[in-house]
């Protein structure tokens, strides 16, 4: 069930309440009830038939269902209904949570209050809220794309600046440095792209002392990360790309260690 289904369900239920339809019940032969296409059975009701008869509940001109529970004599006794939420308990079923009577009225009032407040904040009418939210979401997505592009340019610029400070270790070129303001996940792809072209090993440290290591395969990135975490703490690694977080050290100290100068 989607949101449109829930709205339709709420509208139809309240229509049945408003129509003040009579509710009656009677027992009929079980085989007769099962053979009728207009009788609604849920699985538990059908499996629970043990006798010769079934109790049918009929809402005049609206619905017939097999049920042994308590029922009102007229739909108007139920009062207004408001759908609260839905969930999926499994087996292709949807569970609908709803309120009736005073609780339904209170919930509707609270929802209306929230919608009015949101509409005033966005400077639109309540009916225009979906379009206003869609515009906000699109604006957010555009900003995130712009931010991502700027972040990539920033990382590229920082990596370019680090090329002049690359060091030689065991006959291989190591590009090592701190790149502040970027999380380690954002650095992983760039480090992997640079490894092999500019250096055999690219080790970039964030300002919270997280580490990403990428190599051209001649050095095990996991071993490099393990060396750092063995010295400072933290963990993580694989042969060509490795990350390590929770390093208990100053980022510059990690860089000095990776350069072989500490």
**Whether residue 47 has pLDDT greater than 70:** no
On whether the CB atoms of residues 198 and 175 are closer than 8 A, the answer is yes
Q: What are the tokens at 131?
A: 């379009």
Is 42 contained in some domain?
no
- Tell me if 216 is assigned to some domain: yes
Q: How far apart are CA 61 and CA 58, in angstroms?
A: 8
Q: Report the CATH number at residue 229.
A: 3.10.310.40
Instruction: Note whether residue 146 is domain-resident.
Output: no
SS3 for 148?
helix
Mean pLDDT lowest for which of 37-46, 71-80, 95-104, 179-188? 37-46
Is 191 within a domain? yes
Q: Is the residue at 208 inside a domain?
A: yes
Number of domains, the chain: 1
Asked if residue 237 has pLDDT above 50, the reply is no
Instruction: Tell me 165's DSSP state.
Output: T
The reply to whether 180 falls in a domain is yes
Residue at 108 is within a domain: no
- What domain range includes position 167? 155-259
Share of the chain above pLDDT 70, in %: 94
End-to-end CA distance of the chain: 62
> Which of 109-118, 153-162, 184-193 is least confident?
184-193
Q: Is the pLDDT of residue 243 over 60?
A: yes
Please tell me the distance from the alpha carbon of residue 14 to that of residue 23, in angstroms, as a whole number. Answer: 15
Average pLDDT, the chain: 88
Per-residue pLDDT tens over the stretch 4-30: 999 999 999 999 999 999 999 999 888
């Amino acid at each position: 069930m989607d949101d449109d289904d829930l709205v339709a369900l709420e509208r139809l239920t309240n229509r049945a309440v408003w129509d003040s339809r009579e509710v009656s019940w009677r027992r009929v032969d079980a085989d007769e009830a099962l053979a009728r296409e207009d009788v609604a059975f849920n699985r538990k009701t059908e499996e629970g038939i043990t006798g010769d008869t079934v109790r049918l509940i009929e809402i005049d001109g609206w619905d017939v269902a097999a049920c042994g529970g308590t029922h009102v004599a007229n739909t108007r006794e139920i009062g207004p209904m408001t759908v609260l939420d839905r969930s999926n308990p499994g087996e292709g079923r949807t569970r609908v949570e709803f309120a009736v009577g005073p609780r339904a009225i209170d919930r509707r009032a609270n929802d209306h209050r929230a919608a009015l407040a949101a509409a005033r904040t966005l400077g639109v009418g309540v009916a225009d809220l979906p379009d206003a939210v869609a515009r906000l979401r699109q604006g957010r997505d555009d900003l995130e794309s712009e931010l991502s592009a700027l972040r990539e340019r920033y990382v590229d610029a920082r990596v370019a600046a680090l090329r002049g400070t690359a060091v030689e270790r065991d006959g291989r070129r190591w590009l090592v440095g701190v790149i502040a303001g970027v999380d380690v996940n954002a650095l992983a792809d760039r480090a992997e792209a640079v490894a092999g072209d500019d250096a055999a090993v690219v080790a970039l440290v964030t300002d919270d002392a997280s580490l990403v290591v990428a190599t051209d395969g001649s050095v095990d990135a996991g071993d490099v990360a393990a060396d750092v975490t063995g010295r400072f703490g933290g963990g993580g690694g694989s042969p060509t790309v490795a990350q390590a977080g929770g390093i208990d050290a100053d980022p510059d100290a990690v860089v000095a260690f990776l350069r072989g100068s500490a």
